[in-house]
Amino acid sequence: MSGIAHIRMDEEDLEAAATYRNLGNGHGQESALQLFVNAKKKINDIFRNIGQYVCEADKFVRDVSSSVDITTLVSEENIKTVKGFREKIDGIAEVLSRDHMKVVFFGRTSNGKSTVINAMLRDKILPSGIGHTTHCFIQVEGTDSKEASLRTEESDEPKSIKDIKQLASALSTVKLSQNSLIRILWPKDKCRLLREDVVLVDSPGIDVTPDLDTWIDKFCLDADVFVLVANAESTLMQTEKNFFHKVSSRLSQPNIFILQNRWDVSEMEEDIEAVKQQHIERNTEFLADELNVTDKRSAKDRVFFVSAREALASRLNCDKGIATPERILLPGFQARLFEFANFEKEFEVCISQSAVKTKFEQHTKRAHLINSEIRSVMEEAYTKSLTLQDEQLQLRKDKSERLNRLDKQLDSLTSEVKTKIRNVVDEVERKVSSALNDEIRRLSLLVEEFERPFHPDPMLLNIYKKELHNHIEQTLGRNLQARCSTLVIQAVDATQMNMTERLGEILPAENKQQLLNLIPKRDFEIAYRLDCRNLCAGFREDIEFRFSLSPTALMQRFLGIKGHLQDLSAAPNVVRGTVGGDNNQPIPLRGDSDLLISLLATFASLTSRSTLGAAVVVGLVAKTAGWKVIVVTGALYGGVYLYERLTWTSKARERAFKQQYVDYASSKLRLIIDLTSSNCSHQVQQELTSSFARLCHHADVTKSNLESEIKEVDKSLSVIKEISARAKTLRNKADFFDQELKGFVLQFLSHSGL
């Protein structure tokens, strides 16, 4: 074989290619990139839950701040803090949802950066060729769409993937500026790396522009891995070293891989191992000694000798199921293909671990701090709520005891006051009854005091009686008031004051003045309702002249009213009459003489008849006693009659009228003694009862206020218990998320020392 040896693919070569293809595809083993994928899924789940938790905490503190009774549970500062956490968590969650593993490829022009990326993507996506081909930055990322597209910074409108050559190629007349970025959205189902959240960024040659600082600020600060694609035909250039010195000064220990590309030309060298060793020494010295990003032993594992051209050709043909043309692969290609696969394996492990650390470590720390702060807020709110709950329970207990004590004291006071009122009422009734009896006994004096012109004319007599009724009623009222009212009023005032003082003892001190205001300012007055006009309406005076020695008067005096005389024959030893009173009581007769009884009976019978009867009686007496006696007796009898008739003047009629009125009014007034005394006592009872009712109403208001206060305390307790339960739940959730974050650290970040 001469020059580039042409090799025929035998069975051994095909088997090696198949093994390499499986390595490149990650078949038969779990990709190291799954660490990032799983970590991203896990941390997003955690932050989504923490986001909901922060929303709950924010709602909790806002609810607490809007509650009047429990604003002290959460300070204004904590409310603002939790609200700020909500915004921070939302921002972090948004960043996490977009986070991906980013690798940036740098190197001098024509070192094969685009070819390396195409080989890793197993497709010719980026433009490549001899000379300066890539003029701007190209970012290849995955999309769920089935169609590939590209976007530029100037417009988010999708463009055809075919436009990449015009926009990115240095040979195009419509190329973008060197600091521009083209995003290629490649279907995820066509590439495992893109499917596992890897973003590959191709760059222009670092030897064609001095504006490296802008590149670093714009495209490198969020990179997880840097791949320096060097040319195996030359050593590391100072331009390449200067760029990574700048990167190292801006980033703390960046992850750098060095690919010595085009290693297939080594087949033309005689002392290939010496050349390889030279590259290894210079590269490890650059990484370990100059950049100080790793130690020398680890630096050797970051240097790979590959042929991106062979890897891309082999993968394209392997994916199509055909053999790679002999003219493309040079002797020893199996080792270079395996080296490229090893690079990918190490790269995937490094970028996955690095991305987990760089993307999630700080977020995890911030989430841990936020969670701890919220837990402190919830713990403080929970502790304060328990204290406040105890205070409210004690307050409710005190108010309930006051209410029960007030109920018992009111019951006792009510019983005591009822007894006192009853005693006062009984005493008033007794005094009024006694006073009215005395006044009735003095009624004749009251009637005698009445001086008005008296005339027997019926019309004038009616006016006289009306004025007499008014005089008796007013005079009796004044006398009763003079004798009873002062004592009754004193008793009422004393009782009212006693009720007020006793009630004031069981009510709060601030209510005593209000109780005093409830006592009536005017003196209590008793109305003595005698109403003599109606009481004596049935009074009928008899002021006609009546001869005291007339037969009728004599018979009425001895035998009673005329209607009872017929009973004499039935009861010879008893005469019924009304002498000295109104009662129809039997009157025993003294002596047993039948003659006297017969004489009286005959006399009564004769006098009850006409003048003829009188003549018969006179004849019988004359026959018995003689005419002289009759004449003398008649003269005396006539003289008495004449005297009485002459002395029956208007004054005598007035005396008779007043005497009859006294007898009649006394009998009627005695009938209303109990009624009047009861009426007065009822007025006293009503006054005292109404006064006590007003006082009790004030006590009822106090009770009602206590009951309302207890209800308010119960309501406040209910709110506090709910707040306490919510605070406890949120505190426990914080503990749960703390364990989740610790679990995430142990599972994915334990190497970081978080």
Which has the higher per-residue pLDDT, 175 or 252?
252
DSSP 8-state secondary structure symbol assigned to residue 286: I
* The pLDDT of residue 167 is above 80: no
Q: What is the mean pLDDT of residues 698-709?
A: 87
pLDDT digits (tens, 9 = 90+) for 428-466: 889 888 888 888 888 888 888 888 787 778 888 888 888
In DSSP terms, 185 is beta-bridged to 141, 149
| Rounded CA separation 130/672 (Å) | 142
SS3 541: coil
Closest CA to 360 of 5, 65, 749: 749
Closest CA to 350 of 227, 260, 202, 229: 227
| Whether 294 contacts 255, CB under 8 Å | no
Which has the higher per-residue pLDDT, 194 or 169?
194
DSSP 8-state secondary structure symbol assigned to residue 670: H
| Rounded CA separation 676/669 (Å) | 9
Reported for 421-427, long-range contacts at CB under 8 A and 24+ positions apart, including other chains, are: 421/495, 421/685, 421/688, 421/689, 421/692, 424/491, 424/492, 424/495, 424/684, 424/688, 425/681, 425/682, 425/684, 425/685, 425/688, 426/681, 427/491
Q: Residue holding tokens 């713990």?
A: 379
| Whether 383 contacts 391, CB under 8 Å | no
Q: How confident is the model at residue 259 (pLDDT cuts 50, 70, 90)?
A: very high
* The pLDDT of residue 690 is above 50: yes
What is the number of helices (H) and of strands (E) in the chain?
24, 10
Q: What is the mean pLDDT of residues 265-284?
A: 84
| Whether 164 contacts 138, CB under 8 Å | yes
* The pLDDT of residue 574 is above 50: no
Check residue 8 and give its pLDDT. Answer: 40
745-748-752 Cα angle (round to 5): 70
| Rounded CA separation 364/742 (Å) | 9
pLDDT digits (tens, 9 = 90+) for 457-488: 888 888 888 888 888 888 888 888 888 878 88
| Rounded CA separation 546/641 (Å) | 10
**CA distances (Å), origin 327, targets 323, 324, 331:** 11, 9, 11
Check residue 580 and give its pLDDT. Answer: 38
Write out the H or E segment, with its range, that includes residue 474. helix 458-480
Lowest mean pLDDT, pick from 232-246, 323-337, 503-517: 503-517
Closest CA to 201 of 253, 261, 125, 254: 125
pLDDT digits (tens, 9 = 90+) for 10-62: 444 445 555 555 555 544 456 788 888 888 888 889 988 998 999 999 888 88
Check residue 423 and give its pLDDT. Answer: 92
Check residue 512 and give its pLDDT. Answer: 66
Check residue 719 and give its pLDDT. Answer: 86
Starting from the edge strand earliest in sequence, which strands make up the sheet with 303-305, in order?
A: 149-152, 181-187, 137-143, 198-202, 101-106, 225-231, 256-261, 303-305
| Rounded CA separation 279/134 (Å) | 26
| Chain mean pLDDT for the chain | 79
**Token output for 694:** 């007003």
SS3 180: coil
Closest CA to 52 of 356, 371, 273: 371
Check residue 397 and give its pLDDT. Answer: 93
SS3 663: helix
Write out the H or E segment, with its range, that includes residue 201. strand 198-202
Q: What is the mean pLDDT of residues 222-227?
A: 88
Q: What is the mean pLDDT of residues 291-314?
A: 90
Check residue 576 and give its pLDDT. Answer: 37
Check residue 70 and give its pLDDT. Answer: 62
Check residue 333 and give its pLDDT. Answer: 85
| Rounded CA separation 734/396 (Å) | 33
| Rounded CA separation 505/511 (Å) | 10
In angstroms, what is the C-alpha Rg of the chain? 67
Pairing of strands 585-588, 574-577: antiparallel
Check residue 133 and give its pLDDT. Answer: 64
* The pLDDT of residue 594 is above 90: no
* The pLDDT of residue 7 is above 80: no
* The pLDDT of residue 687 is above 70: yes
Q: Is the pTM of this model over 0.85?
A: no
Check residue 738 and give its pLDDT. Answer: 92
pLDDT digits (tens, 9 = 90+) for 371-427: 999 999 999 889 988 988 899 899 999 999 988 988 998 899 899 989 999 998 998
High-pLDDT (> 90) share of the chain, %: 14
Lowest mean pLDDT, pick from 162-171, 252-261, 538-547: 162-171
Q: How confident is the model at residue 556 (pLDDT cuts 50, 70, 90)?
A: low
**CA distances (Å), origin 80, targets 75, 91, 384:** 9, 17, 19
Which has the higher per-residue pLDDT, 165 or 731?
731
**CA distances (Å), origin 280, targets 260, 283, 643:** 10, 5, 179
- Count other Cβ atoms within 10 Å, centred on residue 358: 22
Closest CA to 117 of 254, 255, 312, 257: 312
* The pLDDT of residue 735 is above 90: yes
Closest CA to 506 of 405, 596, 650: 405
pLDDT digits (tens, 9 = 90+) for 208-220: 666 777 777 888 8
Query: At residue 734, what are phi and psi to the nearest 5 degrees?
Result: -60, -40
Q: What is the mean pLDDT of residues 278-303?
A: 90
Which has the higher per-residue pLDDT, 556 or 17?
556
**Token output for 664:** 């009649």
Lowest mean pLDDT, pick from 196-205, 283-292, 468-477: 468-477
**CA distances (Å), origin 2, targets 24, 268, 328, 330, 349:** 31, 10, 15, 12, 40
Contacts of 672 (CB under 8 A, 6+ apart): 530, 535
83-89-92 Cα angle (round to 5): 145
Check residue 331 and give its pLDDT. Answer: 80
Q: How confident is the model at residue 725 (pLDDT cuts 50, 70, 90)?
A: very high
Check residue 692 and give its pLDDT. Answer: 85
| Rounded CA separation 261/271 (Å) | 18
Q: How confident is the model at residue 579 (pLDDT cuts 50, 70, 90)?
A: very low
* The pLDDT of residue 518 is above 80: no
